[in-house]
Amino acid sequence: MVSARRAARTAAAASLAVAACHIGPAATWLPAPRGLLWPVLDGRGAPARVALTFDDGPDPDSTPHFLRALDALSVRATFFVLGERLARHPELGRRIAAEGHELAVHGWRHDRPWWPRPVRDLRDLARATDLVAEAAGRRPLWYRPAYGILTGGRWAAARAAGLRPVLWSAWGRDWTHDATPDSVLAEVTRTLRGGATVLLHDSDVAGAPGAWRAALGALPDLVARCRAGGLTVGRLADHDVGRGRPRPDGRRGTRPAASARGARGT
């Protein structure tokens, strides 16, 4: 009887440990502690820059509109793409890269990681990374998990794939059915600071149908406001994420100014 109770307690403790290792890192989703404790994960970069990023593509119905708008604005951005969508539309992935934008990894599919699946995490992230590398002609640098939820399995998979996890410092809440260009612009600029990484969506695969139009409509004013504030809008690869971290061209990141270090994410 005693040994049975001891075995049950041991099994329960082991289950709790597994659950903690799986879901514990997801606390980084919370913007306030992330901005304070993990500025690199928050996407904090050079204080004179803003990194513009898009999630959930590529989508032939919406992504080309963003590419045309960015070209008209002379802005290059980072697109976090889903592996299963890139597999369906590889030519669009190649177009994104050919037009000077950066391709990054958003996982294989847009799902929530409620249960530990470390083997699947490793497999899915590896094949998504390979597809992105094939489309871009180079290995990607960044990984942003679906819903911004970084589990223990996703951390390990990113490390195995040679990817750097990064979330965001400001977002537009552009996936909702009532999002408008004005609401997206107001939400982004509410927390926008120099050194921020901005999250928008070039697809409605995980949002309300047609919600991407709100982000598209907000782009010109968002870029104009950044430039009026002396901020350069561009790709994560050019953003010097992390103090003293090496960039792809061999240069090292700049030390963020005090105001940028204090910026809080959303």
Residues noted as catalytic: 55, 201
CB atoms within 10 A of CB 194: 21
SS3 content of the chain, % helix, strand, coil (to 5): 50, 10, 40
The C-alpha torsion from 51 through 133 and 208 to 236, rounded to 10°, is: 0
Q: How far is CA 185 from CA 14, 129, 180, 181, in A?
A: 46, 31, 9, 6
Closest by CA position to 65, among listed 87, 90, 96, 43: 96
DSSP state, residue 114? -
Sign of the CA dihedral with 147 first, then 32, 118, and 134 last: positive
d(CA 232, CA 227): 6
Cβ neighbours of residue 118 closer than 8 Å, sequence gap 6 or more: 152, 153, 156, 157
CB atoms within 10 A of CB 16: 10
